[in-house]
Amino acid sequence: MPLKDDVDATIRDCEIAGIRCAIATSQRLSPQTGAACAEIAGGLIAFAGADSPLSQAYGIVGPVTDADVAAIASFYEGRGATARVFVTPLSDSSLGRALAASGFAPCEYENVLASDSFDPHAAYDDHIGVAPDLDVWAAASAQAFTGRASLTPADMAIARVIAYSDGVCATEARVDGTLVGTAAMDVRLGCAALFAGSTLEPFRGHGWHVAMIRDRIARARDAGARLMRATARPRSISERNFIRCGFSVLYTRALWERRP
């Protein structure tokens, strides 16, 4: 689908709304982490722990000054975290210049995908349903992403935040009672976000990731979403599976970081 200003704005606003909700959930579940967020240059800087993948700056598109970048760095480094900022092709050029001048550099890339094609790909699956036990879901999700059967509290933290955030639908796939995969979604501002899809290692290669995408497309359609979004590493299996399900790459965004 073409990248239009309204599509980009919807995706950005949807992501920021979801991150705000996740920060509120982290404050509720783990107040000791000092989770916090603040607006800057049209985006959001978020912190949910020094090692949390939520601790990044999202959606900064407006012009920025050196003082803005200094404030971002202070927000993270004052909390013992590495300062990380997403930069997209639609970010104002001042963002990249100011980040580079302050010692930031790109550290990883991910593709932002979107689709407004529901019916050709939507498919409920009898093996997939809403998770009845969110702690079981979180443990399975963490195991799938880390590849470890023995989990630390830090491993569980992000999965529990996802599962317990308001508006999130956590789904799971089971075969003969055995949990084989997990996924999540939410619908905010008419845009469905599909995220946290994972298959436990013994069950990979059997199409469960695609099945969970198609199941969530059906749920997004029935929830009244007009647009869907996802992110994936370039040329990853996840990206290929989303493209198979009607998604297209809108752009690649870079995560810039400054190491202390």
Domain ranges of the chain: 5-113, 128-249
pLDDT tens profile 222-258? 999 999 999 999 999 999 999 999 999 999 999 999 9
> How far apart are the C-alpha atoms of 42 and 98, rounded to whole Å?
16
Q: Give the pLDDT confidence score for residue 6 in this predicted structure.
A: 86
Whole-number average pLDDT of the chain = 96
Q: Give the pLDDT confidence score for residue 71 in this predicted structure.
A: 98
Q: Return the CATH architecture of domain 128-249.
A: 3-Layer(aba) Sandwich (3.40)
pLDDT tens profile 56-108? 999 999 999 999 999 999 999 999 999 999 999 999 999 999 999 999 999 99
Letter string b/e over residues 96-110, b meaning 16 or more CB atoms within 10 A of that residue's CB = bebbeeeebeeeeeb
Q: Give the pLDDT confidence score for residue 2 in this predicted structure.
A: 64
Q: Which 8-state DSSP code applies to residue 127? A: T
> How far apart are the C-alpha atoms of 41 and 210, rounded to whole Å?
37
> How far apart are the C-alpha atoms of 74 and 6, rounded to whole Å?
32
Edge-to-edge strand order for the sheet containing 178-188?
Answer: 36-40, 43-47, 57-58, 83-87, 248-258, 105-115, 227-232, 191-199, 178-188, 169-175, 128-130
Q: Which 8-state DSSP code applies to residue 31? A: G
